[in-house]
C-alpha cells in the first residue's frame, strides 16, 4: 500500500500499489471522492468530478 495525502482534508489514504490512473477512491474520513493520478511514478489524488450535471430547468 502507498500512503497518499487527501487533497481535501489533508488526511492519508492507503492506495494499493497496483492501482491504475483514473481509479476512484472514497476517503472515509471526509467522504471525498478522489481520482488517482500517477505523476512521474508518484501517486497523487485529485477531487473526482461528479457526473451530476443536473442543472436542468
Ligand atoms: Zn479526506
In CATH, what number is assigned to the domain containing residue 28? Answer: 2.20.28.160
The answer as to whether 41 is a domain residue is yes
Going from the Cα of 57 to the center of ligand 1, the distance in angstroms, rounded, reads: 32
d(CA 28, CA 19): 18
The answer as to whether 53 is a domain residue is no
The answer as to whether 17 is a domain residue is yes
Q: E strands of the chain, at which residues?
A: 2-5, 12-15, 24-26, 33-39, 42-47
Could you give the number of structural domains in the chain?
1
Q: Which helix (H) or strand (E) holds 32?
A: none
The answer as to whether 36 is a domain residue is yes
Going from the Cα of 8 to the center of ligand 1, the distance in angstroms, rounded, reads: 5
The answer as to whether 54 is a domain residue is no
Q: What is the pLDDT of residues 13-43, one digit of tens each?
A: 999 999 999 999 999 999 999 999 999 999 9
Going from the Cα of 49 to the center of ligand 1, the distance in angstroms, rounded, reads: 15
SS3 state of residue 24: strand
- The domain of 33 spans 2-47
pTM for the predicted model, two decimal places? 0.81
How do 42-47 and 33-39 pair as beta strands? antiparallel
Q: Which of 39, 47, 32 is nearest to 2 (CA)?
A: 39
Amino acid at each position: 500500500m502507498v500512503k497518499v495525502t487527501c487533497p481535501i482534508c489533508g488526511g492519508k489514504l492507503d492506495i494499493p500499489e497496483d492501482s491504475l490512473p483514473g481509479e476512484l477512491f472514497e476517503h472515509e474520513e471526509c467522504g471525498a471522492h478522489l481520482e488517482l493520478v500517477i505523476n512521474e511514478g508518484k501517486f497523487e489524488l485529485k477531487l473526482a468530478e461528479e457526473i451530476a450535471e443536473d442543472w436542468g430547468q
